[in-house]
Structure 1
Amino acid sequence: MSRAARAWDAVVRFWDRWRPLDPVPSIKLKFAMLVTLNLVLTAGVTWYANYVLGWRVRYGMIIASLIVLAVSQIIGHGMTLPLRQMTAAVRELAAGRPAPRLQTNSRDEVGELARAFTAMAAELAVADQQRRQLLADVGHELRTPVAALRAQVENLVDGVRTPDEQALGEVLAQVERLGDRLTHFLQLASADGGAQRLERRRVDVRALVDPVVAEIRAARPGATITVDVPPGLIVDADPDRLAQVLTNLLDNAARHAVLSPAGDAPAVTLTAEVPDASSSLVLEVTDNGPGIPPDRWTSVFERFASGPDAAVPGGTRLDGGTGLGLAIARWAVVLHGGRIAVVPAEGGGCRIRVEIPARGDLHETSTP
């Protein structure tokens, strides 16, 4: 940018910021002050031109009119600037773009209108972001059960498996699970604008884990999933939300599991226990993948903060994913009043720990 252009830009910025009547609390009072100022200027300039400079009256009136027009333009520019800014912002919103920031320093009715418009634009932006987040959540959450259903149907079509009562029952269970997920998304949509209530009850952890693991094995057949959950382990939790946590963590781990330096198959381990000194359920999901850098152990739980791409043996690259699985898992865990974090893993890989209190009365939380 040239020196002249920078100077002109500085003048324009000063021109927009110079609004001497902003402290006046009423638009009517501003107009009254402007009219009074114009009358005083007209009379003063005419008197000065006539009696001091000795000009004819008509010449004094012409000069006074020009001065009054200039003063009115200068002061009126600041009075009408919020209206022009709102007009430009409305055009941006109509074009599908975010509204620019408005100057809301004025204390009169126009300033109140500008502040109300700014609040409305912010609410529209939040609603649009919630809509985008819901669509992303739906795509991410339905991907795993659809992949598992597709694998089962392909086995039936290719003759790998006989379409007997058990096989068709598993397909039906997958379809029912898809319907449950859609119901959960409707609940998630309502939670974006308010509170979400848990339906906590006594849950057999092993009975909850087994169908989730079977679903992930069908969707990610290349990974070996080891389950270490003692039988008879009962916790107080919402089974649907807990299954949501397990599905996202196991799918994320199975997707990033890679061949170990020793040549072992991609491995994922799920453990669950209730330590003697704690009343919380402790879940841990560990994989032998590339792991998460320590400086990203917190940020990976944010929406769309996907993990880094990683190179694995054989020249294959793993993408970081959509960045929603861990965010949804954190939301469901915090809804229980629990905690989720990345912890150091022995021998490399990624290790995520979830702690869910056995008892709690925390029913409201923000969405991921």
Structure 2
Amino acid sequence: MSLPQREPSGLTGPIPITGAAAEARRAATRRTFPDVRPLDPIGSLKWKLGVLVAATTVVAVLLVRYGLQAQIPTRYTLPAAVLVSLLVTQLLARGMTSPLRDMRVAAQAMATGDYSRRVRATSHDEVGALATAFNRMAEDLEAVDRERRELVANVSHELRTPVSALHAVLENLVDGVSEPDEETLGTALAQTERLGRLVEQLLDLSRLDAGAVSLQRDTIRLEPFLASAVRAMSMSGREVRFVVDVIPPDLQVSVDSARLHQVVANLLDNASRHSPAGGTVTVRADTTGEVVRISVIDEGPGIATEDRERVFQRFTRGSSATRSDGGTGLGLAIARWAVQMHGGTIRVASTPRGGGCQIDVHLPATPPALG
């Protein structure tokens, strides 16, 4: 009676071990060969290799000599010396190459989107320097991935809100629920403008990353310029009062007017969003020597001292900000970029008397010489 023949599986050779089995195998290997690193204090890989060769040679010579003194046949002492030398080599070399193995595992994890792995960098040689650089790279990649996720989340939220509002307004108009009166059309226009600001911020973000923006400077008077920016912001419908104070009234500055308008608009938008209903937002400009200062002051909750530098980073919003405040966390980052292009600085000043927040922009009164 013959046994039934099995169909060939089509697989040849050893089956690769992956997933939990591979991790268990690596754990068993670590238990068999502990990750000791006795050569870490040596600051050069070449010296480590020299110590490794010297140690194995000395061990082999001592074992052979002991065998000769004990009159043990060479056929026993020589294999024993080779075996012990290999064990010493394994012990010392494993500590030297552990960071390389860790980097391989971490790189495989990064390929799947896990940037949290770090390499144990304890040596002071070239491999240790490589491990340190690898950890910095992993931190940078993790930060970039986090920014990407925040960008998707912020943009998705900011797009959904005005799109939903526009959809509702247009649907009511089509169904005849509401009439195309001034209030209804104004609501649709406000949401369209909000979409436009978001798209403009995203375009500015791409220009910032590409570094493909040049300045078109001209000399402007600040009083009418700031008054125009305030009038545009006052149409947002927020219940705040804007005040412009320029000293002297004929103060001028040489800037790219489009970029400066972008800075002022972002600061006014930020200040008006965080000011209470009925509050006042003050735009003040003055000069000190060769520096023109533009300050935007609100009556909101202010910015904590520890957050005054962080708010100029991308996707960062004040501790009092919420998802419903209409902010993307890009406005102040773009403002700082535009100010720095002019050779100026922007910072959160000390809390004004009575509370609130004051952000100062310092610009050179005359453009820096090229070359």
With structure 2 as the length reference, what TM-score do the two structures score?
0.65
Aligned residue number for residue 307 of structure 1:
318
Higher mean alpha-carbon deviation, 73-82 vs 337-346, is at 337-346
Question: How far does residue 71 in structure 1 lie from its aligned partner after superposition?
Answer: 1.0
Distance (whole Å) between structure 1 residues aligned to residue 269 and residue 198 of structure 2: 16
Matches within 5 A, 1:1-368: 15-19=35-39, 23=43, 25-26=45-46, 30=49, 34=52, 38=56, 40-52=58-70, 54-98=71-115, 99-101=117-119, 103=121, 105=123, 107=125, 121=138, 124=141, 128=145, 158-161=179-182, 180-191=200-211, 197-205=214-222, 208-209=225-226, 212-219=229-236, 221-228=237-244, 234-258=252-276, 265-275=277-287, 278-294=289-305, 296-309=307-320, 323-336=329-342, 337-361=344-368
- Tell me the CA shift for residue 26 of structure 1: 4.3
Contact 1:256–1:318 (8 Å) recurs in 2: no
Percentage of matched positions with identical amino acids: 33
Q: State the alpha-carbon separation in 2 of the partners of residues 168 and 234 from structure 1.
A: 37
Code of the residue aligned with 2:295 in structure 1: it is: E
CA deviations over 1:67-88 (Å, ceiling 9, x no partner): 2232121122133223212212
Gapped regions of structure 2 (runs ≥ 5): 1-30
Contact 1:105-1:111 at 8 Å conserved across structures: yes
Distance of 2:369 and 2:146 partners within structure 1 = 26
1:138-180 CA distances to partner (integer Å, 9 max, x unpaired)?
789x87x969x969x879975331999x999999988876665
User: Given residue 320 of structure 2, which amino acid in structure 1 is its aligned partner?
Assistant: D
What is the CA–CA distance in structure 1 between the aligned matches of 2:253 and 2:162, rounded to whole Å? 29
CA distance in 1, matches of 2:53, 2:355: 77
Change (3 A) 1:173 1:117: closer
**Aligned pairs, how many?**
328
Which TM-score applies when normalising by structure 1?
A: 0.65
2:54 and 2:306 map into 1 onto residues whose CA distance is 64
Closer/same/farther in 2, CA of residues 298 and 72 from structure 1, 3 Å limit: closer
Q: CA separation in 2, counterparts of 1:20 and 1:281?
A: 56
CA 1:168 to 1:73, structure 2 compared with 1: closer, same or farther past 3 Å? Answer: closer
Question: How far apart, in 2, do the equivalents of 1:350 and 1:21 lie?
Answer: 52
Q: Which runs of 5+ in 1 are unaligned?
A: 1-10, 259-264, 311-315, 364-368
The CA RMSD over aligned residues, in Å, is 5.0
- 1:246 to partner: Cα distance: 1.6
Q: Displacement of 1:100 after TM fit?
A: 1.3
